[in-house]
Structures are given as structure tokens and as C-alpha cells.
Structure 1
Amino acid sequence: MGQNSSSYPQVILMGLDFAGKSTLLAKLLTGMVMETSPTVGFNAGNLELDKKTSLTLWDVGGQRGMRTNWKYYLDDCRALVFVVDSSDSTRMPEAHKALKKVLSDERLEGVPLMVLANKKDLPNCMTIREVSKKLDLRSYTDRLWEIQACSAVQGLGLQQAFISVNKMIQRS
């Protein structure tokens, strides 16, 4: 999906399975919604934000068995984008635990965090305030963080989110 990935800041997309990471990446890179299946390993691509700015995005599998491998993607991480399914409140405790664990890795010290509350197009989805509270985002006082609602299927909020990610990388 991309060119030489080492020349652009590395942004890692993580989150539980079925949060919509692969759909989000496909929509960003191709503009289309693609049929996806659970990611085994990773997907990667370069996102051009403007003529001078690109980010290399790594979408890492989120199934429980894959999460032990998340640590292998952190070495050159300049920003973490944690994607949650905002229509599934029952999995928020699991998402909170997974986020807390990955952010405890010393290689992510001071690395900016963007939380994407995906699937805002679905009925009964949580607000970003509810998601923020369930993930205890206010406790992350040691890093820049933002939360944004989005819809990977509709493309809503995606471009703005990654423009914000780039700004956070520049400020960190």
C-alpha cells in the first residue's frame, strides 16, 4: 500500500478487534469502503495530508491473541491512534485495559494519543465525553491527547483527526 515508510512519521492504529481500524485505513487511503476481515499482522500505507505532509499509518490486528504483538510496532511510533467502537459500551472496560497496557510501554513515553470514537453513524453510540470517561483519558497527564468522533464507513472526521495527529506530532 505504500512507498518507503521510513521517510514519514510513523502513526500506529491500535484498538480492539471490530473497532474499525482496517475500514478506517482503507477509507483514508482509497476513499472507498472495502470489505475487511480481522487483521492478522498489520496493514500499512502512507496518508498524504497535503503536498508537503505525509504520515505512515500502521493498522495492527486487535484480536486478543494479537495484542501481545503490539509491542513490536512501537519502536518508531510518533503518535498512537487508538480506535474504539463507540456503539459497543460493553467492550469499553476491555478497551480501557488494552489502552492502559500499551501506553505503559516506555517507548510510548510522551507520544501523543488520538482516540477515535468510531461508528458515530450507528444508533445509540456513546458521546466522546462518555468514551473519554470510560477510557479515563484525563489520567493521561504526561502526554498530548485528543478524542474525536468519526465514522470510518462514511469518512466523517477522519481527515480532521489525522491533521490533528500531525499537529500533535509537531508539538511533542
Structure 2
Amino acid sequence: MGSWFSNLFNLWGRDGKEHKLIIVGLDNAGKTTILYQYLLNDVVVTSPTIGSNVEEIQFKNLKFLMWDVGGQESLRSSWSTYYNAVEAVLLVIDSTDRERLTLIKEELYTMLAHDDLKSARLLVLANKQDLKGAMSAAEISKQFNLTSIKDHSWHIQACCALTGEGLYEGMEWLTDEMTRKH
């Protein structure tokens, strides 16, 4: 009977609760591809997200409720409606989209200043590293001045949503961060 409870405990996560994450970024950054790479460990055909997608993901012994929110200009003003009880923000950046880097940087700092995200952790996913001309994670970190962020735990991870490369290393950091804080 004890092993049955132990297995049930592991099934629902080490701490027995679901952790809410929000995946944000500009349109065409790869947010939905990343969500389904985490869920299915495979690439799925996606179309632009209107509103949001939500999936439960189990990683290590933690259960996550991941909200993938549309990144089109008309939808960004509604991002804050998803912030309640968010424990981590996954910011997906198209590492080849140099023209809109300033725009997503402004969105990031606006998010981090929101009261509902005061204690949220930040995982920046520098996506599309497989493409020619992609900025490195170090270059993006410098452009975003990430080292100036002192009131949020943060990490930047180079990745490729299509292959999954780097995605699980980012989640390793996040789960370690979340279990360390409990």
C-alpha cells in the first residue's frame, strides 16, 4: 500500500501541485512548436496562435500547466490576463529576427514589472539556432541586458524547437530552480 501512495505521489509531482508557466514571444518565434516538442517530443504542424494553447506537461517529478499565448501585435496587450499565479515565464525569441529585438526587449521588461509576475522565474529560449545568421544566446543576453535583472531568477538557453536541442536543458534549469525554492 505504501508503494502505491509513493507511485501516486510521483505521478502528480514531487510537491503535489501543478505549476503554471506562460510561454510568450513575438509571432513566429516558435512558441507553439516548443510547447508541443515538450508535450510530444516531436514537431507538429502549427498555425498562428489566436488566443492561447494550454497543455499539461510532466518534466522530472514536476507537473506544469503551460500556457502558450499568441504573439501577434493585436494579442500582446492581453498577455497580462494570463499572469495570475504564473511561476515561470518562458520567453521565446527568434534568434534571427534582429529587426524586432528591441520590441521583444520592451515587452520583456514590461512583463517583469507586472505585480503578478514579481516572483516568477524567467527562462529565455533563444530559438532557431539552426538557422544561418542566428544570434547566440550570449549576444541576445547582452542586447537584453539580462545581467541587470536582479529581482527574478533567470536563465538564457540556446535552442532549436524543431530538433528539441537545448529545450530540455532549459527545463532542467527551471525545475532545479523551482524545487530549490520549495
Give TM-score, length-normalised by structure 1: 0.92
Q: 1:161 aligns with which of 156, 163, 170?
A: 170
How far apart in 1 are the matches of 2:81 and 2:174? Answer: 21
- The farther-off stretch of 81-90 and 159-168 is 159-168
Across the aligned residues of Structure 1 and Structure 2, the Cα RMSD in angstroms comes to 1.6
User: Once superposed, which parts of structure 1, at least 4 consecutive aligned residues long, lie more than 6 Å away?
Assistant: none
Give the AA of the match of 1:23: T
Can you give the 5+ residue segments of structure 1 that lack an aligned partner in the other structure?
none
After superposition, give the CA deviation of every residue in 1:58-107 in whole Å (9 maximum; x if it has no partner). 10111111011101111010011101001111110011011111111011
Contact 1:96/1:136, CA 8 A, preserved across alignment: no
Deviates more, 1:91-100 or 1:41-50: 41-50
Partner of 1:103: 112
Alignment of 1:57-96 (within 5 A): 57-96=66-105
* The one of 11, 14, 18 aligned to 2:28: 18
Aligned pair 1:149/2:158, yes or no?
Answer: yes
CA distance in structure 2 between the partners assigned to 1:141 and 1:36 by the alignment:
35
**Superposed CA offset, 1:108-154 (max 9, x none):** 11311010000011111111111011112112111110000000011
1:127 paired residue number: 136
Q: Structure 2 unaligned segments of length 5 or more: list them.
A: 1-11
Q: Secondary structure at the match of 2:155?
A: strand
**What SS does the aligned partner of 2:147 have?**
helix
Q: In structure 2, give the amino acid aligned to 1:141.
A: K
Contact in 2 for aligned 1:95/1:135 (Cα 8 Å): no
